């Protein structure tokens, strides 16, 4: 009796299992609807502190720059001049400029959704004594605009502020571009709704005549400014990079004036604002026009929110004396300042904040660093400074530990700091 009951239970269980499997197979064969695919947010990787993080896929500006051209400009094409291209362009146009020199062809771009890119070898826009609206080689006054792989040279105007690009309205992304021998490399308006992003670009060779200060990149009182993987060198009396933006993100750049450079500040935020400076190399030449490398708040606040977070920067002073970081606390009202894991090379003072964090900053002689591109940058593998500092953590949700570093001659490379964390921009 017991054996019979057991056999019945086993048969019932087998039948139930069969029916479930049959139903599943039937659904798989007949259903043509799959669950919705999850949103792809990027590649999952493990951060240096062990947490999982998402590495986003290509940015919108990168995707837009890969779109097929709708207008081609250059010798032998239907549209031969840049000035004509700007006049004919419509919203959403993808404009491709053939390689070569384009002299005395100023342009005013007022459209939305524009992508303007150089094809092949970088096309060069040479001012040659002309300008758009007596302001710049190009004036950008539209909506969302991406400019990629274009070079700007020789901007001169009556008031001494001739720019390669004058950015006056919208949302501008500049990628893989170059600005040489302009009174101002790139100059913006003072409108809080503006956003500027500069990626993997070069700014250098300020004009060598006295008068107006020639800043290589001058960001006005705009809402947000991002610069990443870019190089600044050979200034003259003006600054290599100056930003008055409400929010500035300065990541993995090379701001080294170089031999013979005579820039004033290498990096300046005269009105404070919210500043994140991470993984940059900032270098003052022996012939600098100003002893301060990195200045914050020299003209007092413009924005209500002011804080400086500077981590893992390498600051090099080739002058006999100087100041690596100067915060004008008297004018700014003692804002929050974090200076963490920065590496100083040469002689100079480092500002210690009244409120904030000051930790992990180290100083070494030039001979303790391996040179890259003729600049002392990376601690040797046997340096006693390796492993002497702690991860800097986050500030307002922004990671202060670098996940990339500058790559010569321009750009960045991804990297993962190891357990032997070192001060400075290079691990």
Can you give the pLDDT at residue 64? 54
Does the pLDDT at position 6 exceed 60?
no
Report how far residue 401's alpha carbon sits from residue 341's, in angstroms, rounded to the nearest whole number.
9
In a domain, 91, yes or no: yes
Within 13 Å, how many C-alpha atoms sit on residue 149's CB side? 19
Q: Which domain holds residue 87?
A: 54-303+315-324+347-352
Does the pLDDT at position 219 exceed 90?
yes
Average pLDDT, the chain: 88
In a domain, 98, yes or no: yes
Count other C-beta atoms under 10 Å from residue 329's C-beta: 16
Can you give the pLDDT at residue 58? 47
In a domain, 65, yes or no: yes
Report how far residue 258's alpha carbon sits from residue 125's, in angstroms, rounded to the nearest whole number.
25
Report how far residue 286's alpha carbon sits from residue 167's, in angstroms, rounded to the nearest whole number.
33
Give the tens place of pLDDT for each residue, 381-410.
899 999 999 999 999 999 999 999 999 999
In a domain, 386, yes or no: no
Can you give the pLDDT at residue 419? 86
pTM: 0.85
Does the pLDDT at position 93 exceed 70?
yes
Q: Which helix (H) or strand (E) holds 210?
A: none
Q: How confident is the model at residue 352 (pLDDT cuts 50, 70, 90)?
A: confident
Give the tens place of pLDDT for each residue, 131-189.
999 999 999 999 999 999 999 999 999 999 999 999 999 999 999 999 999 999 999 99
Q: 334 vs 88, which has greater pLDDT?
A: 88
In a domain, 79, yes or no: yes
In a domain, 397, yes or no: no
CATH number at residue 103: 2.160.20.10
Mean pLDDT of 331-352: 94
Can you give the pLDDT at residue 65? 55
Mean pLDDT of 204-218: 92
CA-to-CA separations, 307 to 303, 328, 339, 359, 426, in angstroms, rounded:
10, 12, 11, 17, 24
In a domain, 85, yes or no: yes
Does the pLDDT at position 51 exceed 80?
no
Residue 414 tokens read as 């991804």
In a domain, 236, yes or no: yes
Number of domains observed in the structure of the chain: 1
């Amino acid at each position: 009796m017991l054996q019979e009951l057991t056999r019945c239970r086993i048969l019932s269980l087998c039948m139930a299992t069969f029916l479930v499997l049959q139903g599943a197979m039937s659904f798989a064969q007949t259903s043509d609807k799959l669950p919705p695919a999850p949103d792809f947010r990027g590649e999952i990787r493990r951060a240096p502190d062990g947490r999982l993080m998402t590495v986003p896929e290509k940015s919108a500006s990168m995707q837009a720059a890969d779109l097929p051209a709708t207008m081609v400009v250059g010798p032998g094409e239907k549209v031969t001049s840049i000035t004509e291209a700007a006049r004919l362009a419509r919203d959403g146009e993808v404009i491709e400029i053939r390689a070569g020199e384009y002299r005395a062809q100023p342009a005013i771009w007022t459209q939305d959704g524009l992508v303007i890119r150089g094809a092949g070898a970088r096309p060069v826009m040479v001012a040659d004594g002309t300008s758009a609206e007596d302001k710049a080689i190009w004036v950008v006054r539209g909506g969302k605009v991406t400019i990629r792989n274009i070079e700007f040279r020789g901007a001169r105007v009556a008031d001494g502020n001739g720019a390669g690009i004058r950015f006056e309205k919208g949302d501008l992304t500049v990628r893989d571009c170059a600005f040489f021998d302009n009174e101002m490399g790139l100059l913006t308006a003072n409108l809080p709704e503006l956003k500027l992003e500069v990626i993997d670009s070069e700014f250098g060779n300020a004009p060598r005549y006295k008068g107006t200060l020639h800043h290589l990149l001058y960001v006005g009182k705009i809402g947000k400014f991002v610069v990443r993987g870019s190089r600044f060198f050979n200034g003259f009396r003006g600054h290599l990079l100056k930003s008055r933006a409400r929010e500035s993100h300065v990541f993995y750049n090379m701001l080294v004036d170089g031999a013979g450079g005579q820039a004033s500040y290498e990096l300046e935020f005269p009105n404070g604002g919210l500043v994140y400076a991470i993984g940059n190399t900032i270098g003052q030449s022996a012939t600098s026009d100003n002893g301060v490398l990195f200045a914050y708040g020299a003209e007092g606040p413009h924005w209500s929110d002011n804080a400086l977070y500077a981590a893992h920067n390498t600051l090099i002073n080739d002058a006999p004396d100087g100041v690596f970081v100067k915060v004008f606390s008297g004018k700014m009202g003692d804002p929050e300042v974090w200076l963490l894991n920065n590496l100083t090379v040469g002689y100079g003072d480092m500002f210690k904040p009244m409120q904030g964090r000051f930790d992990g900053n180290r100083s070494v002689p030039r001979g303790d660093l391996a040179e890259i591109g003729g600049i002392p940058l990376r601690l040797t593998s046997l340096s006693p400074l390796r492993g002497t500092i702690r991860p800097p953590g986050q500030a307002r949700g922004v990671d202060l530990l670098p996940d990339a570093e500058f790559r010569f001659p321009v750009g960045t490379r991804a990297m993962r700091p190891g357990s032997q964390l070192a001060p400075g921009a290079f691990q």
